[in-house]
Structure 1
Amino acid sequence: MNSRKTPIFNRNYVLLTVAYCGFLFYLSSQSTLPLPQYFSWQDLIEHAVAYFILGIFARKALPVVPSWMIIVFVVLYGMSDEFHQYFVPGRDCSILDFAADTMGGTIAVLFNRQILSGRRAGITRERGVP
């Protein structure tokens, strides 16, 4: 029997999550970003993808923390990011951006949870346990 327990946190992913939060803060501090706009709602997709990545990193950083707590972290970080942008010249605080942040992070955490539970179930089945 394997007596190893899942650690409370994964140090490498904690560092990656903190670094990524710093990167998002840096991007939010810029008055303009040098990204070409191809369609009108591209910004919302960029926000969702950025916070999807944050959700994955945070979930992997804290594997035993309940998913809802990871989602709360991502939502609060997105809220603070939008509030921060209110004070950056050329940027604004957008409820739509916040909604995209929330959706991206939430989907990431739930997706990751589903993948992990699927892996665990597969491992159990391989060992002959229903």
Structure 2
Amino acid sequence: MKFIIHWLPVVVWMGVIYYLSAQTGSDMDGWLSIVHQWFPSMKDFDWGHFIAYFVLALTFAWALSSKRLTWRRKLIVILLCVLYGLTDEYHQSFVPGRTPDLMDLRNDAIGAALAMLLLTFPPLRRWLERGHCVKYY
């Protein structure tokens, strides 16, 4: 049962990413144009991919919480996110108005890496330790 509780958020969030990936290009353009208005210098940066894979990395970290979250495990989390990002880009090749893009994969990796970096800060690490979410040694 513990296994299911820990891995269910990963599977659910992958489903959310898959659903968002299945939206046509015109469905996604509305809110992205607003973000690009606020941050014109970040026009090439896809915040949707960044946030989606930031959260996915945190769910992977939660799933691995029964074990120590070492730098090696953090790297594995990032690699798992990038692998799922590859499947996401492949999936987008079949969606009208969407195309696979290496910059999206870059943003996926940046989101996952920053999530893992965030877990190295002592205040957050202590908060997670108190909550028994992740064990650090």
Q: Establish whether TM, by shorter chain, passes 0.5.
A: yes
User: Which residue of 48, 52, 55 maps to 1:53?
Assistant: 55
The structure with more radius of gyration: 1
1:70 matched to 2:99? The reply is no
Matching residue of 1:31:
24
Match of 2:12 in 1: 19
Counterpart AA for 1:84: H
The percent identity for this pair of structures is 30
1:98 aligns with 2:105: yes
TM-score by length of 1: 0.74
Task: State how far apart, in whole Å, the 2-side matches of 1:74 and 1:89 are.
Answer: 24
Instruction: Flag structure 2 segments of 5+ consecutive residues without an equivalent.
Output: 131-137
Contact 1:67/1:113 (<8 A) preserved? no
What value does the CA root-mean-square deviation take over the aligned residues?
2.6
The structure in which a higher percent of residues are helix is 2
How many residues are matched?
A: 114
TM value normalised by structure 2: 0.70
CA contact (8 A) 1:56 1:109 kept: yes
Q: Which residue of 2 aligns with 1:110?
A: 117
What per-residue deviation string (whole Å, max 9, x for no partner) do you get for residues 62-109 of structure 1?
122611111110110111101110111110001111100110011112
- 1:31 deviates by 1.2
Deviation at 1:113, TM superposition (A): 3.8
Residue type of the partner of 1:97? D
How much does 1:118 deviate? 4.1
Where structure 1 has 5 or more consecutive residues not aligned to the other structure, the ranges are: 1-8, 124-130
Which letter does structure 1 place at the counterpart of 2:118?
Answer: F
